[in-house]
């Protein structure tokens, strides 16, 4: 059953139909499609293009379709090409001739553009909510761990001591930016393309601003060709989702490292780990690995969409039907990853003594030892050289700077006094880093 049979003398080839159809995946737009149609006919009747009775019959029919789809008594019928054809055909079956007037002053081109905008507009708050839940867990952990010492790394080499709160705070910022990007995208896409028609508007006296306001849009879109051929908002969303996934993936990589036997900084809860079929001792961080792995899949959808749009002449082209599966999959993937990652983080155990011990090894307090000399009038470059020598001594002796006896310090530089040990303790190293954004400032903020 097609919307456009009149001009044709032959049926579509079966394979061509299957290749062309989108109902199998655009059925998830049914809610937005029906909502859009209700607004459209409400406007048509207000403009005296339909009678009030036709409007009422159509709205009643559309509402019954929505209810039946939702309660499962109506199923999507694969003989229809897409969600738009399906809804219109069922409507006409149910309300007769009035149903045939639904599509007055409209094209599937502006209709599908509307449906996708509304779908994304509905999904963004779901994504923001998941990002907020993740940030709530991070915020709880940050409060609990302002004094949980750990090494900070550069080049994956131990660099300077910091706290778990500080490390997690970096992710708190990343997911905060992700939320603001989602809000920007939602704001920018919130213009209504309905009434653009196939590409050049219509000859009916539509009130596009009225339809836009009925559907909660800020305004109607400005240019009808752009309205039916713009998919920027999908590319923006995919780009936002790629960044979310990139952040989750970096975090996952750290969780995988921290959970390894070599680090033992964390233990992932049994609920978020899996075993090995052969090695009985194994507890694998599969959830974190899958989140990291699925990042590539979301990036792929971004590249696909950019490539699909590249070189498309104005206005609508069927290539644009390819805008759906990747976007839907990217949204589903990101939502699953955010949910699972949040659960894993919420139940993860942090091994504080191991983290603190690791911060003591690897000379993470060497900068602070140099700063001690600077405080006593030694120029920083000289202090750097002196501490370098002391580190070599420690390596030979197999000890840390905290364990090196005072006479060894003084043999290299007499400026050192007994208070050097306090000056290079983890506690001091952290507490003295008071600049905005540093672990000491965070400690003050939460205490």
Active site residues: 155, 276
Compute, in degrees rounded to 10, the torsion defined by CA atoms 306, 312, 317, 323: 0
Segment lying near ligand ARG (by CB under 6 A), choices 164-172, 241-249, 314-322, 417-425: 314-322
What tokens does 341 get? 């990652």
Q: How far is the CB of 234 from ligand ARG (least distance, A)?
A: 12
d(CA 398, CA 404): 10
Name residue 162's beta-bridge partners.
150
Q: Which is nearer to ligand ARG, 82 or 178 (CB)?
A: 82
Segment lying near ligand ARG (by CB under 6 A), choices 105-113, 170-178, 327-335, 356-364: 105-113
Closest CA to 227 of 316, 126, 144, 320: 316
Segment lying near ligand ARG (by CB under 6 A), choices 104-112, 291-299, 380-388, 393-401: 104-112
Q: Which is nearer to ligand ARG, 152 or 201 (CB)?
A: 201
d(CA 153, CA 163): 12
DSSP H/E element including 86: helix 83-95
Q: How far is the CB of 30 from ligand ARG (least distance, A)?
A: 13
Antiparallel, parallel or unpaired: β 219-220 and 349-350: unpaired
Does 108 participate in binding ligand ARG (rule CB under 6 A)? yes
Does 112 participate in binding ligand ARG (rule CB under 6 A)? yes
Does 110 participate in binding ligand ARG (rule CB under 6 A)? no
Q: Which is nearer to ligand ARG, 115 or 371 (CB)?
A: 115
Q: Site map for ligand ARG, 14-43, x if CB under 6 A?
A: --------x---x-----------------
Q: How far is the CB of 84 from ligand ARG (least distance, A)?
A: 6
Site for ligand ARG in 56-95 (CB under 6 A): 82
Closest CA to 350 of 125, 167, 187, 128: 167
Segment lying near ligand ARG (by CB under 6 A), choices 46-54, 121-129, 241-249, 315-323: 315-323
Beta carbons within 8 Å of 204's beta carbon, 6+ residues apart: 44, 47, 49, 104, 105
Q: Of 175, 316, 341, 363, which lies in the binding site for ligand ARG, with binding defined by CB under 6 A?
A: 316
Q: Which is nearer to ligand ARG, 113 or 142 (CB)?
A: 113
d(CA 19, CA 31): 24
Q: How far is the CB of 320 from ligand ARG (least distance, A)?
A: 5
Phi first, then psi, for residue 27 (nearest 5°) are -60, -25
Q: How far is the CB of 99 from ligand ARG (least distance, A)?
A: 19
Does 320 participate in binding ligand ARG (rule CB under 6 A)? yes
d(CA 199, CA 53): 30
d(CA 284, CA 275): 6
Count of alpha carbons within 13 Å of 150, Cβ hemisphere only? 21
Contacts with ligand ARG by CB under 6 A lie at: 22, 26, 82, 108-109, 112, 316, 318, 320-321
């Amino acid at each position: 059953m097609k919307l456009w049979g009149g001009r044709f003398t032959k049926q579509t080839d079966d394979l061509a139909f299957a290749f062309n159809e989108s109902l199998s995946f655009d059925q998830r737009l049914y809610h937005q499609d029906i909502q859009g149609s209700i607004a459209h006919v409400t406007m048509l009747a207000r403009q005296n293009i339909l009678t009030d009775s036709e409007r009422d019959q159509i709205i009643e029919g559309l509402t019954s379709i929505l209810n039946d789809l939702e309660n499962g008594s109506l199923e999507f019928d694969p003989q229809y090409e897409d969600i738009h054809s399906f809804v219109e055909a069922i409507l006409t079956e149910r309300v007769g001739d009035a149903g045939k007037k639904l599509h007055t002053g409209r094209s599937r081109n502006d209709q599908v553009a509307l449906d996708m905008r509304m779908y994304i507009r509905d999904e963004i708050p779901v994504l923001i909510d998941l990002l907020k839940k993740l940030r709530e867990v991070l915020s709880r952990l940050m409060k609990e761990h302002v004094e949980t010492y750990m090494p900070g790394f550069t080049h994956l080499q131990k660099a300077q001591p910091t706290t778990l709160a500080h490390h997690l705070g970096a992710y708190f910022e990343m997911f905060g930016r992700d939320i603001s990007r989602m809000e920007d995208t939602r704001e920018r896409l919130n213009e209504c393309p309905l009434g653009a028609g196939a590409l050049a508007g219509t000859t009916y006296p539509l009130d596009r601003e009225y339809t836009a306001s009925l559907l909660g849009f800020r305004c109607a879109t400005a240019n009808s060709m752009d309205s039916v051929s713009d998919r920027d908002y999908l590319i923006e969303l995919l780009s936002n989702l790629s960044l979310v996934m990139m952040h989750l993936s970096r975090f996952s990589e750290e969780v995988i490292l921290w959970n390894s036997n070599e680090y033992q900084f964390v233990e992932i809860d049994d609920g978020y780990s899996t075993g090995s079929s052969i090695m009985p001792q194994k507890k694998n961080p599969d959830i974190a690995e899958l989140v990291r792995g699925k990042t590539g899949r979301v990036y792929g959808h971004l590249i696909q969409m950019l490539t699909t749009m590249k070189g498309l002449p104005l206005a609508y082209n069927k290539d644009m039907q390819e805008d759906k599966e990747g976007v839907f999959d990217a949204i589903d993937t990101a939502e699953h990853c955010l949910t699972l990652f949040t659960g894993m983080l919420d139940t993860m155990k942090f091994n504080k003594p191991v983290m603190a011990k690791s911060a003591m090894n690897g000379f993470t307090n060497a900068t602070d030892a140099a700063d001690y000399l600077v405080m006593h009038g030694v120029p920083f470059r000289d202090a750097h050289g002196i501490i370098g020598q002391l580190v070599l001594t420690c390596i030979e002796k197999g000890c840390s700077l905290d364990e090196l006896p005072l006479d060894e310090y003084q043999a290299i530089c007499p400026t050192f006094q007994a208070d050097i040990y306090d000056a290079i303790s983890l506690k001091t190293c952290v507490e003295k880093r008071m600049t905005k954004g540093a672990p000491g400032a965070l400690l003050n903020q939460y205490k």
